[in-house]
Amino acid sequence: MIPDKAKAAAAAVAWWHSLRPNADRGTRGNPAALARLRRAATALDLMAEPETIGLFQCMGARSYSDLPVAALLAGVLSHVREDRPARSVARLLGPKHSSDGKDAIMSPLRFRRLLQATDPNDILVAFRRMIALTGGSLPVADLSRSLLDWNEERKRRWIYDYWNADTSNTEATRNTDTIMEGHSQ
């Protein structure tokens, strides 16, 4: 068990930045490592990569049982091309204006499949597909926190964010009020 998941998520973000090229810092990153991580087909393949072990150590992981989580992080984050720290991943994927999901980046059906993924290899495939739908631009910190804790509570939070269920959101409240008015007539 990873002792401090907040520190582990921060370490994953720093690890991701270290592999990415950055013209502002004048660093080339590690394109060969990113390519190997992107090509890895399974969590086991990812566990055998030196960069995954480096991530495992940076996260403060202490047991071989934490290797699958480090592998998922390495395999998924290697596909992210741009950090969008302002939004949650699920909110970014969800519908912007409609309650039927027609304007969502990820369709409700595909989102449901992502939530149902439990096996490391299925999670890897589902998250890689999700990144492809966003063009590789996601909030790396939120993605890291989510993969470190991909459990029922996290999935509930993703559903809440995906559907923008926060009733303090004026657009969501207006849509609900309009629907309720239609039912009362």
3-state secondary structure 60-91: CCCCHHHHHHHHHHHHHHCCCCEECCCCCHHH
If one counts the domains in the chain, the total is: 1
Domain region containing 80? 5-184
Spans of the chain below 50 pLDDT = 170, 172-185
Q: Supply the pLDDT for residue 171.
A: 53
The residues, any chain, with a CB within 8 Å of residue 181's CB and separated by 6 or more, are none
Tell me, rounded to whole angstroms, the distance of Cα 16 from its chain centroid.
Answer: 13
Q: Supply the pLDDT for residue 178.
A: 40
Q: Supply the pLDDT for residue 13.
A: 97
- Beta bridge partner(s), residue 71: none
Reported residue count of the chain is: 185
What burial letters (b/e) apply to 39-58, b meaning 16+ CB within 10 Å?
ebeebebbbebebbbbbbeb
> What is the enclosing helix (H) or strand (E) of 30?
none
> What is the dihedral angle through the alpha carbons of 90, 96, 102, 103, rounded to the nearest 10 degrees?
-100
Residue 121 belongs to a domain with what CATH number? 1.10.520.40
- Asked whether the beta carbons of 176 and 165 are under 8 A apart, the reply is no
Q: Supply the pLDDT for residue 181.
A: 41
For 15-60, write each residue's pLDDT tens digit: 999 999 988 888 899 999 999 999 999 999 999 999 999 999 999 9
Q: Supply the pLDDT for residue 12.
A: 98
